Chains A and B, each alone.
Chain A
Amino acid sequence: MSEQVFKDNELLKANKSESYFAVVRRQFMKNKLAVGALIVLIFIILLCIFVPIFSPYSMQIFFADNRLIPPSGQHWLGTDIIGRDLFTRLFVGGRISLGIALAVTAITTLIGFTLGSLSGFYGKWIDTIIMRLTEVILSLPFIMIAIVVVALFGSSIQVLIATFGALMWPGITRIIRGQILMLREAEYMKACEALGINDFSRITRHLLPNLLPFIIVYATLNMASVILVESALSFLGMGVSPPTPTWGNLLEPAREMIHLANRPWLFIPPGVMIFLTVMCFNIVGDGLRDAVDPKSRGR
């Protein structure tokens, strides 16, 4: 009977028709800066996907007589030291950089969710061990320890992804732990306990959906930091090694005085791409946080 009453209530119906994600989307759309950044981001991703496919230049083939041509109608961003088309390489590099960022974000989010929920849900010694572990990793300077790891294990894309994954999980772990500590006391969690639902489904079926918005926000922001550290490491010559291009190692010529002083087309475009992409991820992530968490709005 009560169901009938609810169905007839226009006001409630209107309220109910807007799901949580619809509210979030509406809030996000209000933020013009964030929407703009999202559009730019989609545009960059599309370029990274399609430019290498439609480019007349292969990233492997090079011509000795085409070396170091400044930007022209034929080579929009010029050519590099051994005559490869830089416009093509820029977006092939973008694929690699974005791909690494995506893989690392997936790994850190997975580790972060698992360890964060174990830590927050069970507390006690599990919590102590995991939190001490995060302290150990957080007190090491990221770039330095990454240099050491890459130095010891070699610099392949796989090693890089594994290293970043192993070093970047503490941030999201702590956030998820904090959220779970808060949610654990919620009424519906008490109800779950009373109903005798097992821990696994309490975490995955009941806590995860509530955490999802936060996970998406931090995954977006994490993309930005992975791109930054990967490019820094590749710039130092400790990341992905040539001939595979990434935005970071495309910038490497800037470390040599001859190129730095005379050939800006070699390193300005990848630098701008890193900056632009990272900024878009940051702005979108920030916009999402404001949309997801009303408390953070305007902060």
Chain B
Amino acid sequence: MRGFVIRRILQMIPVFLGILALLFLLTELAPGRPLADIQDPRLSPAHRERMLERFGLDLPVHQRFFNWVVDAVQGDFGESITHRRPVSEMIAGALPATLTLSISSMIVSLLLGIPLGILSAIYKGRLIDNICSVIAFIGISMPVFFFGVLLILIFSVGMELTPISGFGSAPPFGLRGETLLEIWRDRAWHLILPVTALGMTGAAGYMRYTRSSMLEVITSDYIRTARAKGLKERRIIFRHAMRNALIPIITLLGLQLPALFSGSAITEAVFGLPGLGQILLQSVTGRNFPILIGVMTMVAIITLISALIAEIMYAVADPRIKYD
């Protein structure tokens, strides 16, 4: 087991370096140089030189890449050019919104997708199955931003039930209180619509996966044996079939993560949540390279680590998987 984990971590290193190289290459190939938007005529060439030196932009390419990787591995992504704040600090500020949104949406997706998938597998070809498959098609085809806009239109503008945007009320108006509980209650209130939008559109994938996985298991020999033994149908489904059918979903969780972050970036824009996607969009206009690659690196690290955890969990959950 330990050997398996170590080997997977070692295999992750080239992928991680590949991501870093790709991101670095992108910023190198891009037209336009950083600091180009600071066009103060009083800025003397010498001063400009000093600023470039300050951000380490005067070194040759390979040296900058090396320095950057060494720093990035230590969690230092440089300094934001426009904010004069460490990028890591800005990322840390944006992570709570993104992670809260992503994780809650994932939970909603699973809670919706898995039961509906099981239901549709049990009642294959019948009305419930057909309704579920239509819902699944709607879910995979609905753009998350349009769904979000419709939700705002109905629940915030129409019924005035939920807040329109933000990750919490501003202090003088809202119910944002002193205690942590009150803050989170306020946040939850703000997150209802975004989580609904992202969670429901994400559920369709899990639903289809669960259905096909269940169908495969239901037709297998040991389920027929269980039926022949005269076990109750409920026991067969929940004790025998579900366990094996749901194990592969762990892998799916790991694979879905990049898509989840993509969806989260779009949802953040619709609902004005101060997450990683928002930082990314804001730093676009200023050609703020350190932030752009910093955010991407952070997201890549989270994705790779989660994929690794998913794989280890899969190996633990399914004793048929061989570690070597």
A residues bordering B, Cβ < 8 Å?
132-133, 135-136, 138-145, 147-154, 224, 228, 231-232, 235-238, 251, 254-255, 257, 260-261, 264, 267, 271, 274-275, 278-279, 282-283, 286, 298-299
16 extra A-B contacts, CB within 8 A, seeds A141-B261, A235-B145, A274-B146:
A141-B258, A141-B299, A143-B265, A147-B280, A151-B284, A152-B31, A153-B30, A153-B31, A232-B266, A257-B164, A260-B149, A260-B153, A275-B141, A278-B143, A279-B141, A282-B141
Residue on B with the closest CB to A134? B15
**How far does the alpha carbon of A142 sit from the alpha carbon of B259 in the complex, in Å?**
7
List B contacts of A145 (CB < 8 A).
296
Query: Count of chain B residues with Cβ under 8 Å from any Cβ of A?
Result: 60
Contact, CB under 8 Å: A232 / B145: yes
**How far does the alpha carbon of A254 sit from the alpha carbon of B165 in the complex, in Å?**
13
Given contacts A139-B300, A236-B281, A260-B157, contact A282 B149 (CB under 8 A): no
List B contacts of A251 (CB < 8 A).
145-146, 149
- Choose one: B140, B211, B215, B258; the contact of A282 (CB below 8 Å): B140
Interface residues of chain B: helix, strand, loop or mixed (majority): helix
Residue on A with the closest CB to B140? A282
Asked whether B124 is an interface residue with its Cβ less than 8 Å from the other chain, the reply is yes
**How far does the alpha carbon of A298 sit from the alpha carbon of B214 in the complex, in Å?**
12
**How far does the alpha carbon of A152 sit from the alpha carbon of B28 in the complex, in Å?**
9
Task: With both chains docked as a complex, state the minimum distance between the C-beta of A292 and any C-beta of chain B, in angstroms.
Answer: 16
- Choose one: A275, A282, A286; the contact of B143 (CB below 8 Å): A275
**How far does the alpha carbon of A261 sit from the alpha carbon of B138 in the complex, in Å?**
25
- Choose one: A133, A144, A286; the contact of B280 (CB below 8 Å): A144
Residues 273 to 301 of chain B near chain A (Cβ within 8 Å): 276-277, 280-281, 283-284, 287, 292-293, 295-296, 299-300
List A contacts of B283 (CB < 8 A).
151
- Choose one: A141, A154, A271; the contact of B259 (CB below 8 Å): A141
List A contacts of B23 (CB < 8 A).
148
Contact, CB under 8 Å: B146 / A141: no
Asked whether B19 is an interface residue with its Cβ less than 8 Å from the other chain, the reply is yes
List A contacts of B292 (CB < 8 A).
148, 151-152
Task: With both chains docked as a complex, state the minimum distance between the C-beta of B311 and any C-beta of chain A, in angstroms.
Answer: 12
List A contacts of B27 (CB < 8 A).
152
Residue on A with the closest CB to B31? A153
- Choose one: A133, A224, A254; the contact of B18 (CB below 8 Å): A133
List B contacts of A255 (CB < 8 A).
269-270
Question: Residue-by-residue, is B240-282 near A (CB-CB < 8 Å gives 1, otherwise 0)?
Answer: 0000000000000001001111110110011000001100110
Contact, CB under 8 Å: B138 / A136: no
Question: Could you list 27 A-B pairs, sorted by A, with CB under 8 Å?
Answer: A140-B22, A140-B296, A140-B300, A140-B303, A141-B262, A141-B303, A142-B259, A143-B263, A144-B261, A144-B265, A144-B280, A144-B295, A151-B287, A228-B143, A232-B144, A232-B145, A251-B145, A254-B149, A261-B153, A261-B157, A271-B143, A271-B146, A278-B141, A279-B141, A282-B137, A298-B124, A299-B211
